[in-house]
Structure 1
Amino acid sequence: MSTTSRPIAASPERVWEVLADGWLYPLFVVGATRMRGVDDTWPAVGSRLHHSVGVWPALIDDTTEVLEVEEGRRILLLARAWPAGQAHVEISLEPDGKSTVVTMVEQVTGGPSALIPKPIQDPQLHLRNIETLRRLAFVVEGRTR
């Protein structure tokens, strides 16, 4: 399991606005190449993002599903990228003065990626999620100016 946090210079409401707009995920999620569709009920439990991962022409079409949600505070996703695998990704928001600390916890839950030993897997997830949160900060902070 990999845990990564970063402060974003915006309120939790502003951060949540970006997370609640499924069409924006390829702007900040490392590896997400394009959106093919977003369920009308996103980010309600059971709703899905229909995305592609990878680099053209080797794209994989898959989905990410909301497993749990606390509006404005936390979302737990089941992110799929088969045949590589799937992971639980929890994103939580904690107010901190005029900023929000965003924390991502990611754990591979299935597929061949789950066979990679945790001491190798976790640092790779952490590095990817550092960049994901960096991109999320660009999107959120750019929208609040």
Structure 2
Amino acid sequence: MSTVSRVFNSPAEDVWKVIADGWLYSGWVVGASRIRAVDGHWPELGARLHHSVGAWPLLIDDSSRVTAVEPGRSLELVARGWPIGEAKVAITLEDMGAQCRVTIAEDAIKGPGKLIPKLVRDPVIDVRNTETLKRLELMAAGGAGR
């Protein structure tokens, strides 16, 4: 899996508040254009975010589903964007008091994206998730999700 980490100047609690608000997902996840619906029990196990990926007018409507969660510490998803495919995404928060380390690990698990060689796929995912972490950090620092 492609894995990137970043130390945020925000406590893990503030970062989790952003992650736990499904309506904020498109504000920090690179590639997510809009949120169409969020299951009421987000981010509990099995909950879904219904999102669009891409840029108008070439939008793909699909969803992401929680496959594991430890509130305040970790969230694992299967993110879908067919016809591109599906990816497993694991987000972990390491509490460091006034700071926290956030890590995103991701890889294609189904579809055409899985056919791209890992040597090519990982650097692209790394760049995308590095920007995703920057956005998440700014939203947490700015008080989103409170």
TM-score by length of 1: 0.97
Computed over aligned residues only, the root mean square deviation of the Cα atoms, in angstroms, reads 0.9
Task: Tell me which residue corresponds to 2:124.
Answer: 124
Q: Quote the offset at 1:107 in angstroms.
A: 1.2
Task: Tell me which residue corresponds to 1:11.
Answer: 11
Partners of 2:85 and 2:7 in 1: how far apart? Answer: 29
Partners of 2:105 and 2:62 in 1: how far apart? Answer: 21
Runs (5+) with no aligned partner, structure 1: none
Q: Quote the offset at 1:9 in angstroms.
A: 1.1
Task: Tell me which residue corresponds to 1:26.
Answer: 26
Task: Tell me which residue corresponds to 1:136.
Answer: 136
Task: Tell me which residue corresponds to 2:50.
Answer: 50
Aligned residues: 144
Q: What amino acid is aligned across from residue 134 of structure 1 in structure 2?
A: K
Q: Quote the offset at 1:97 in angstroms.
A: 3.7
Q: What amino acid is aligned across from residue 91 of structure 1 in structure 2?
A: I
Q: What amino acid is aligned across from residue 136 of structure 1 in structure 2?
A: L
Q: What amino acid is aligned across from residue 142 of structure 1 in structure 2?
A: G
Alpha-carbon deviations, 1:24-77, whole Å to 9, x = none? Answer: 001000000000000000000000000000000000000000000001000100
Q: Quote the offset at 1:95 in angstroms.
A: 1.4
Deviates more, 1:24-33 or 1:6-15: 6-15
* 3-state SS of 2:25 partner: helix
* 3-state SS of 2:142 partner: helix
Partners of 2:68 and 2:13 in 1: how far apart? Answer: 18
Q: Quote the offset at 1:22 in angstroms.
A: 0.2
Task: Tell me which residue corresponds to 2:2.
Answer: 2
- Deviating 4+ runs (over 6 angstroms): none
What is the identity percentage for the equivalent residue pairs of Structure 1 and Structure 2? 52
* 3-state SS of 1:143 partner: coil
Runs (5+) with no aligned partner, structure 2: none
Task: Tell me which residue corresponds to 2:63.
Answer: 63
TM-score by length of 2: 0.97
Partners of 1:53 and 1:133 in 2: how far apart? Answer: 18
Q: What amino acid is aligned across from residue 53 of structure 1 in structure 2?
A: V
